[in-house]
Homo-oligomer: A and B are copies of this chain.
């Protein structure tokens, strides 16, 4: 799936509510979904459940990006499109970070 298409899908689906809620309220919802993802990973939930929770976190991250006016696709390209931001290599060779 194209990330920009997905972000626009979320914009179309939820933008009216998102604008009313604002960034702080949207962040709260994102955190709720992050908690559900933590539970799914920690409990070793089945594949379908984990997929579901990853999708929700990504959807709320896209929502927050919409509220903040950030294009996620551009953001990824700028930071990771030319290699690891730390060492510049396509296969990271950074020392120190685990």
Contact = CB atoms under 8 A, between A and B. Distances in A.
Interface residues of A, number: 59
Contact of A1 (B27, B38, B76): B76
B1 A77 contact: yes
Interface in A33-64: 34, 37-38, 41-42, 47, 50-52, 54-59, 61, 64
A92 B64 CA distance: 16
Contacts of A70: 47, 50-51, 54
- Name which of A10, A12, A41 has the most chain B CB atoms within 10 A of its CB: A41
Interface in A2-50: 2-4, 6, 9-10, 12-14, 16-17, 20-21, 23-25, 27, 31, 34, 37-38, 41-42, 47, 50
B9 A6 contact: no
17 contacts: A3-B3, A3-B6, A6-B80, A10-B80, A13-B84, A13-B92, A17-B92, A17-B98, A31-B34, A34-B34, A51-B71, A51-B79, A54-B75, A55-B76, A55-B80, A58-B58, A58-B72
